[in-house]
Amino acid sequence: MPETHADERLIVALDVPTAAEALELADRLAPHVRFFKVGLQLFLSAGFAVCDALAKRGLKVMLDLKFHDIPQTVALATGQFAGHDIALATVHGYPQVVEAAAKAKGGTKILAVTVLTSLGHDELQQSGFAGSLADLVRLRAVTSLSAGADGIVCSPLETALLRKNLGTKPLIVTPGIRPLDSTRDDQTRTATPLAAVSAGANHIVVGRPITKALDPAAAAKAILEEIR
């Protein structure tokens, strides 16, 4: 697998409404955590300013906007990363979308989202796909990498299968991480931090089990100790 520094395996999701809250949380966690995710809610509130503020602190940023539009729009949107230190960015795992983002990415690595971790078997059947969730994840992973993605986002339940099929080169980033003492919330395909990393994930994305903890720094530190 691509070498990943131990303190960068954990990406904490800054799923808070304002830049002030996000930066306060990042500052509390920064002695332990070096990688943070900026999602749609925070980005709509604070834009690239919060990404830039994190980068100026020497932290890495995953921008999780999950682009899914016509190729020209995706390319133009991805081009906006220029001048901002965005390490990873997400798009939905459709070949035309991935290809457009990959051509305009600059120094950012593009991750293709295969199937959202909130999607279960019943929702898959309703979408009309005849195969299993694992089949759909594998299909989207293979086609996305062929289209130029640097890696994929999948649930921890598909990580071992994809690592076996895709080899060591692609990045695999797994949300849906829940320590043993956590609730699933709205996630349906979850695993513990250690299980995800042992299955081959380069990075795990953790939000509420850290950000909603009484002591977020202690919660993050416990996860890092588990996966080292």
What's the pLDDT tens digit per position in 4-34?
666 789 999 999 999 999 999 999 999 899 9
**Confidence at 126, pLDDT banded by 50, 70, 90:** low
Q: Which of 56, 60, 69, 109 is catalytic?
A: 69
pLDDT, tens digit, 9 for 90 and up, residues 193-202? 999 999 999 9
7 is catalytic: no
Token look-up 């299980």 returns: 195
Contact 110, 75 (CB under 8 A): no
Q: Which of 27, 56, 60, 64 is catalytic?
A: 64
Query: 47 a known binding residue?
Result: no
pLDDT, tens digit, 9 for 90 and up, residues 82-116? 999 999 999 999 999 999 999 999 999 999 999 87
Query: 37 a known binding residue?
Result: yes
Query: 69 a known binding residue?
Result: yes
Query: Residues 141-149: what's their mean pLDDT?
Result: 97
Q: Which pairs count as long-range contacts for 20-23, CB under 8 Å and 24+ apart, including other chains?
A: 22/46, 22/50, 22/54, 23/50, 23/53, 23/54
169 is catalytic: no
Query: 121 a known binding residue?
Result: no
Query: Structural domain boundaries of the chain?
Result: 6-227
Asked if pLDDT for residue 186 goes beyond 50, the answer is no
> Which bin fits 149, alpha (ψ -120 to 50), beta or left (φ > 0)?
beta
Distance (Å, whole) CA 170 – CA 150: 6
Asked if pLDDT for residue 2 goes beyond 60, the answer is no
**pTM of the full structure:** 0.90
**Confidence at 185, pLDDT banded by 50, 70, 90:** low
Q: What average pLDDT does the structure give for the chain?
A: 89
The superfamily in CATH containing domain 6-227 is Aldolase class I (3.20.20.70)
**Confidence at 80, pLDDT banded by 50, 70, 90:** very high
